[in-house]
Structures are given as structure tokens and as C-alpha cells.
């Protein structure tokens, strides 16, 4: 792509691949460097809420997303014994969007494969673990563990919670345990007699614990996330093996579908939940961060993937037509737009987690609080990151 900025993305996860697609759609020269030798993901569900789904539609992924996804409507709340949690105004089934936007729950591996397949051959370089960056005038030089090197006009760090790029620009993210960990698992729907009736997420709430189920892979699989208290340090990883017996003991006496789900698992993974304060900055003159490298957040509003997708589209809008001399200003505008919003989402997710695991509270009172929280939080799902970026650019570069 002669004459355009050369952009390097470190990290081939959801955010990095979406950024590559969005940037290439605007005729920018983009290469992704991913440390894994093969793109491979563990079994896990991911929520793509309307704020992210509408952006994917605009880069031509709507049909593919609908094929692999299970539509999200509202969320059904139940007590640990299976009773529907109601409020004075009726069942507590808050919706995720008030503007008609559709979101989807997807299998993470299916979604990554969709993004990867949409990129041209050679756009993603596997087996490239970035170990060092050097910003030299109007270029960024990258060094990799395999001995390779590359140079770019703009470098985007999409390399997750253990970001090398974050470290290389002088930042350090300090995790704080929430005192809980999550068990994750996927169950073939055919193993659960009631799975055909499971269309929207169902969340069981008990004392200090919660248990979430929702369909992925077009309803062929049921994704489970079970949050339990812990006083020990747990790995901050989706792939650390969990103990099925310990999981079953945590939910002894709970509603039958909860116990059926646990008994149907072949394996489970445990995931330590850690919170982080917003970083003071994300960018230098030529380098910026996105996704978990910039704003890791606890999972209680399902916005990890969504905020990465918003980052990707924002960067694409701001870098389109950008000259070499404008890069630093555009990256600072990106940082200002996204740091403010993601800090709010981080705070909302933090508050939601506290509400989910609050103890000794009447279920209907908790439901009412959840309904109020969802009404207050609709700004998350209704946001249009592309429009926000265009407006900010128009105001900054008339």
C-alpha cells in the first residue's frame, strides 16, 4: 500500500486481529506479529455485545458473526435454589441494549478463526515473540526472540495482560485480587436435557457465589463460568486446570441444572480474577496500547472483547489519512478518547462483581439493584466508538 503508514501490531488476539482488519479496510499497511506458533484457543465463551457487534458489521463480518454466534437477549436471574428472582415490577430480566442492537455469545476459538480467515495470507506472522522495542525518531524498531527484526511508523501493543509493549514504554500494571476465582468449562448441549430451552444467559446468585450459563457455537455448546470466593492466589490464566470435585463441592445443594452442568463437564479451568487501576497513559509518539495491554478489566459485564474491538475501530478511524507528522497527535487523541471510556467500564465491572457476590441480601432486593444497575449501564452497550472517533477527529483536525 504505497504512501501509507506502516503499522505493526504485536499480539494476534481478538483486539489485534480486529485492528488489522479495520486498518486494512482503510487501506493502511498492517502486519501482525503473534508469539504463538499456531493460533490456538482454549474452549471459552466470549460475549460480543451490541457496542462491539455493530462495529464488526461495518467491517463486513455481520454474516460470519451470526453464523457462529448465539443471539443475546436479556439475562435471567435465579436464586441458588432455582427460583426466578423477581422485583415489584416483575421478573428480573434486564436487557443488554435499548436501541435494537443485537449482541452474540460466541466460542472464542470460532471468533478468532473468523478474524484470522478474514485477513489476507501473510498479514499475520506467527512465532514472533517481541522482546524489545526502540523508538528512533519517526520509526519504531522491533526485535523478536527468533532473531527477526521489523520497523514501522506506528506500533500497537495488543499483547495482553503481560504486555511486553507496556513494559517497554515504561508502564507497570499492578494486579489486585478480588478474592474470587472463576471456573470455566464448555459442555455439549446434547448432554443437558434442558439445553434446547437455553436461549439467553442465566445467572444463579447465591451467598458469595454466582453461576453463569449461556449458549455458544450456535447453541451446540453451553459455556459455564462459576465465580467462587478464594483466599489463595490463583493463576491469572484461562488455561490453568481446575478440580471438578472442588467445583462440585462449591455448589453442593444448588439448583439441579447447576449440578447437572458440573457433572457433565469433562474438564474445567480455573481463572484468578484480578483488578487493575487505569494506567496513567497508553502512548508515546509512535507506540500505543490497546485491549488488555491498556485496560484489563474484571469480567462481570462481559466487555473485555468489546472494549478491545472499540479500541481497534477507534485507531482505524484516527489513523486513516494520517501523515507521519500527525501520528503523535492522533495517538494522544486515541488515548484521551479510550482511556476515559474504558476507565468507566472498568469501574462498572468492578461494581457489578461486588453486587453479584454480595451476601445476606434479599433476592428481590438484589434483583432490583441489578435492574437499576443495568439501566444506569446502558451507555456501555449503546456507545458507537466509530462515531465518537469521527466526531473527535473532526473537532481536532478541522
pLDDT by residue for the chain (398 residues), tens only, comes to: 445 799 999 999 999 999 999 999 999 999 999 999 887 766 688 999 999 999 999 999 999 999 999 888 878 888 889 988 765 544 444 445 445 578 999 999 899 999 999 999 999 999 999 999 999 988 999 999 999 999 999 999 999 988 999 999 999 888 888 788 889 999 999 999 888 888 888 989 887 888 999 998 888 899 999 999 887 665 555 567 888 999 999 999 999 999 999 999 999 988 888 888 899 999 999 999 999 999 999 988 889 999 999 999 999 999 999 999 999 999 999 999 999 999 999 999 888 887 777 765 666 676 777 767 667 678 899 999 999 999 999 998 76
Cβ pair 223, 214 in contact under 8 A: yes
* Annotated catalytic residue 214: yes
Q: Which of 183, 214, 334, 356 is catalytic?
A: 214
Give the per-residue pLDDT at 43. 63
CATH (one of 3.30.9.30, 3.40.50.300, 2.60.120.260, 3.40.50.10540) for 176-275: 3.30.9.30
CATH code of 6-174+276-396, in short, is 3.50.50.60
Give the per-residue pLDDT at 1. 46
pTM above 0.85, yes or no: yes
Cβ pair 85, 205 in contact under 8 A: yes
Distance from C-alpha of 70 to C-alpha of 201, rounded to nearest angstrom: 10
Distance from C-alpha of 284 to C-alpha of 136, rounded to nearest angstrom: 12
Read off φ and ψ for residue 61, nearest 5 degrees.
-110, 10
Distance from C-alpha of 180 to C-alpha of 195, rounded to nearest angstrom: 27
Cα 88 to chain centroid, rounded: 34
Give the per-residue pLDDT at 92. 45
Give the per-residue pLDDT at 118. 95
Instruction: List where CATH 3.30.9.30 sits in the chain.
Output: 176-275
- Kindly state the cell numbers that stand for 307: 472494549
Amino acid at each position: 500500500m504505497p504512501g501509507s503508514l506502516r503499522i505493526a501490531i504485536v499480539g494476534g488476539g481478538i483486539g489485534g486481529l480486529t485492528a488489522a482488519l479495520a486498518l486494512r479496510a482503510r487501506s493502511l499497511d498492517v502486519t501482525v506479529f503473534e508469539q504463538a506458533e499456531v493460533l490456538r484457543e482454549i474452549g471459552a465463551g466470549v460475549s460480543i455485545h451490541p457496542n462491539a457487534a455493530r462495529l464488526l458489521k461495518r467491517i463486513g463480518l455481520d454474516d460470519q458473526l451470526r453464523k457462529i454466534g448465539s443471539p443475546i437477549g436479556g439475562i435471567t436471574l435465579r436464586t441458588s435454589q432455582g427460583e426466578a428472582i423477581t422485583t415489584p415490577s416483575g421478573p428480573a430480566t434486564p436487557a443488554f441494549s435499548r436501541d435494537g442492537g443485537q449482541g452474540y455469545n460466541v466460542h472464542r476459538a470460532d471468533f478468532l478463526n473468523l478474524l484470522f480467515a478474514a485477513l489476507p495470507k501473510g498479514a499475520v506472522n506467527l512465532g514472533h515473540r517481541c522482546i524489545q522495542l526502540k523508538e528512533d525518531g519517526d520509526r519504531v524498531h522491533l526485535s523478536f526472540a527468533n532473531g527477526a527484526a521489523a520497523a514501522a511508523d506506528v506500533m500497537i501493543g495488543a499483547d495482553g495482560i503481560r504486555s511486553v509493549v507496556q513494559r517497554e514504554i515504561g508502564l507497570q500494571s499492578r494486579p489486585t485480587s478480588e478474592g474470587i476465582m472463576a471456573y470455566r468449562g464448555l459442555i455439549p448441549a446434547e448432554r443437558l436435557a434442558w439445553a434446547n430451552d437455553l436461549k439467553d444467559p442465566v445467572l444463579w446468585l447465591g451467598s458469595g457465589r454466582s453461576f453463569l450459563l449461556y449458549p455458544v457455537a450456535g447453541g451446540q455448546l453451553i459455556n459455564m463460568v462459576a465465580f467462587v470466593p478464594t483466599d489463595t492466589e490463583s493463576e491469572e490464566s484461562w488455561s490453568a486446570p481446575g478440580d471438578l470435585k472442588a467445583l462440585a463441592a462449591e455448589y453442593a445443594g444448588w439448583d439441579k441444572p447447576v449440578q447437572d452442568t458440573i457433572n457433565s463437564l469433562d474438564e474445567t479451568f480455573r481463572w484468578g480474577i484480578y483488578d487493575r487501576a487505569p494506567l496513567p497513559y497508553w502512548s508515546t509518539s509512535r507506540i500505543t496500547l490497546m485491549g488488555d495491554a491498556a485496560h484489563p478489566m474484571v469480567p462481570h459485564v462481559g466487555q473485555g472483547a468489546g472494549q478491545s474491538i472499540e479500541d481497534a475501530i477507534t485507531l482505524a478511524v484516527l489513523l486513516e489519512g494520517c501523515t507521519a507528522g500527525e501520528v503523535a497527535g492522533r495517538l494522544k487523541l486515541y488515548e484521551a478518547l479510550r482511556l476515559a471510556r474504558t476507565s468507566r467500564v472498568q469501574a462498572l465491572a468492578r461494581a457489578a462483581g461486588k453486587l453479584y457476590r454480595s451476601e445476606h441480601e434479599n433476592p428481590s432486593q438484589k434483583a432490583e439493584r441489578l435492574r437499576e444497575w443495568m439501566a444506569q449501564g446502558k451507555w456501555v452497550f449503546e456507545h458507537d466508538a466509530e462515531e465518537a472517533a469521527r466526531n473527535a477527529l473532526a473537532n481536532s483536525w478541522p
